[in-house]
A and B are shown apart, each in its own frame.
Chain A
Amino acid sequence: MLNVVAVVSAVVLLATYLTWLAGRLDRLHARTDGARASLDAQLVRRAASAMAVAEYAVAAGLLSVATARALSSAARVASTAGVAERESAENDLSRSLHTAVPLLGQRDADLRGLLADLAAACSHVVLARRFYNDAVRDTRSVRRRHLVRWLRLSGHAPTPGYFEIDDTPTTALTALDPAQPT
């Protein structure tokens, strides 16, 4: 009798634990998906801000044709890139911004407004990317567990990948708002 009780309680405990673990994993995947959506939205916003700055710079003759074209094409490629090319496209945009922004100066209120938008967009990319990679790290660490792998508790959800780009803000932009998070 005692044996039966012991076996039944063990089974109940294990089932409870597995259910809880599956729920936990589910929440982690949801968090990762949400963080990814936020990151995508912030990247799109950054590309749009960069495009606006590029258009202004061309109209005002603030950049050489080559630099302005490099910036606007990097912004366009970044905003349309597929999943596979996303990181390298965003890195190209970061590089173009590092080259172009210091050359712009801050000659009028319109440009300062555009640059402030761009600065905010860039700092939001930093936040969103860090929160996404945090979510990925937490998700992957639970997915790595033996029980999760043997019992396929993660179902069909693909293993999320880290998003690695250079998003260090250009000094010319951080100077606009020194309290931005790093």
Chain B
Amino acid sequence: MKVGLVCPYPWDVPGGVMAHVRDLAEALIAAGHEVSVLAPVDDDEEPLPPYVVPAGRTVPVRYNGSVARLVFGPISARRARRWLRDGQFDVLHLHSPETLSLSLITLLQASGPIVATFHSANPRSRVLAAASPALQPALEKIQGRIAVSAAARRTIVEHLHGDAVLIPNGVHVKTFVGAEPMPGWPGTGGALGFLGRIDEPRKGLSVLLDAFSRLAQGRPGLRLLVAGPGDGDEVRAALPANLRDRVVLLGLISEEDKPRFYASVDLYVAPNTGGESFGIVLLEAMAAGTPVVASDLDAFRRVLDDGRAGKLFPIGDPDALAATLAGLLDDPTRREALADRGAARVAAYDWSAVARSVLGVYQTVRMAHPAHPTHRAHPVREEPAEPADPTIAPRSGAGPRAVAGS
């Protein structure tokens, strides 16, 4: 099957949606499908995997407590159109088309079998509520909607008045198993790990730093390993002077280094305070065999099987986090049991399983098309508003399969 994926966020800035698109693309390619990914790219020098087609740069926009990097403009629109025309995809699969992004720009120009995955879990989004009537005509073109979490699905139901099938994120379990820890880690005094943007309040690093400060005074060997982009000086300033050299900031780490990062700590901590629709990092840590301690968000509770596959603590509560961490740091047997249950839980989330489910959606949507391949010999032509060919094409343009639309 020829699949066109659209990633709304820059390919060279690691993030949940970008990683999802990359891993889905690779799992589909591994299953023998032909995949092309259209994505914004901010750094022209960055080498891209062969399946990525760059769509131009992005513009930073503050939205909903985060900085979103969005893509606008005629250049992206033209590139999207050309990509659609050249790709001749059997299925077009957009990610987060409800944001003002490359996905929406592409959706506006596309027709044919279209699938979309909704990543955002924000049931009270005023922006989404206000934008939904204007987005409706474009979103109506989507024939199969996927939500990555129950919360993301609820967001669709409340704001976009539709429904979606739930297919959770996946993880490449194999790549995380048996990695070599970084030299000198985890050590004997206990090591905690955090991965995520350090200057993004909702990632909750400040909650972990609070808990760490409390624990570290009584545990001279305890260290904290922090991976993720952001301003490290602010983090150091938030710590008592005597603890600063026990918090190691790695900055942004590569995908290749992630398994080693997880292997380097005794406990992985996800202190997020909200906005998290799934929590792929939890699954990665579980795949690496590192026990997880996470805040009690809906999405985390589901991934952690109600606390059986990882410990939960009340959201934003550094005291409770410190107590939970202390209990686990003192009990290697419990840590091991937790890691074992985590590793067992993560198998169902492997990308191969997720890609199979997504392919089921592609098949269903293609079958819904007037010119499903079984009809190809006798194309159904009585529906003038829909292309008779199941291939995605720009709505208008020079391509031989281009179709005039609304």
A residues contacting B by CB (< 8 A) are: 20, 23-24, 26-28, 30-31, 33-35, 37-38, 41-42, 120, 123-124, 126-128, 130-135, 137-138, 141-142, 177-182
- CB of B357 within 8 Å of the partner chain: yes
Distance A120 CA – B364 CA, assembled complex (angstroms):
12
Shortest CB–CB separation between residue B142 and chain A, in angstroms?
8
B residues contacting A by CB (< 8 A) are: 136-137, 140-141, 143-146, 161-167, 348-350, 353-354, 356-357, 360-361, 363-365, 367-370, 383-386, 405-406
Q: A128-B368, A133-B163, A134-B163 are in contact. Are A181 and B360 (CB under 8 A)?
A: yes
Which of B141, B349, B364, B386 sits near A131, CB closer than 8 Å? B364
**15 pairs, CB–CB < 8 Å, chain A vs chain B:** A23-B406, A30-B385, A30-B386, A31-B141, A31-B386, A33-B370, A33-B383, A38-B367, A127-B364, A131-B143, A137-B161, A137-B163, A142-B140, A178-B348, A179-B350
In order of increasing CB-CB distance, the 5 nearest A-B pairs are A179-B353, A38-B368, A34-B368, A38-B367, A26-B385
Q: A26-B385, A27-B385 are in contact. Are A42 and B364 (CB under 8 A)?
A: yes
Distance A133 CA – B361 CA, assembled complex (angstroms):
15
The DSSP consensus for interface residues of chain A is helix
Shortest CB–CB separation between residue B90 and chain A, in angstroms?
15
Total residue contacts A-B, CB cutoff 8 A: 104
**Most chain A CB within a 10 A radius of its CB, from B143, B145, B356:** B143
Contacts of B406 in A (CB 8 A): 20, 23-24, 27
Contacts of A133 in B (CB 8 A): 163
Shortest CB–CB separation between residue B119 and chain A, in angstroms?
16
Which of B163, B356, B364 sits near A38, CB closer than 8 Å? B364
Shortest CB–CB separation between residue A19 and chain B, in angstroms?
9
Distance A24 CA – B163 CA, assembled complex (angstroms):
20
Distance A130 CA – B136 CA, assembled complex (angstroms):
18
B364 & A28 in contact (Cβ 8 Å cutoff): no
Contacts of A38 in B (CB 8 A): 364-365, 367-368
Shortest CB–CB separation between residue A104 and chain B, in angstroms?
23
Distance A41 CA – B353 CA, assembled complex (angstroms):
24
Distance A79 CA – B367 CA, assembled complex (angstroms):
18
Distance A123 CA – B363 CA, assembled complex (angstroms):
12
B357 & A31 in contact (Cβ 8 Å cutoff): no
CB-nearest residue of chain B to A178: B348
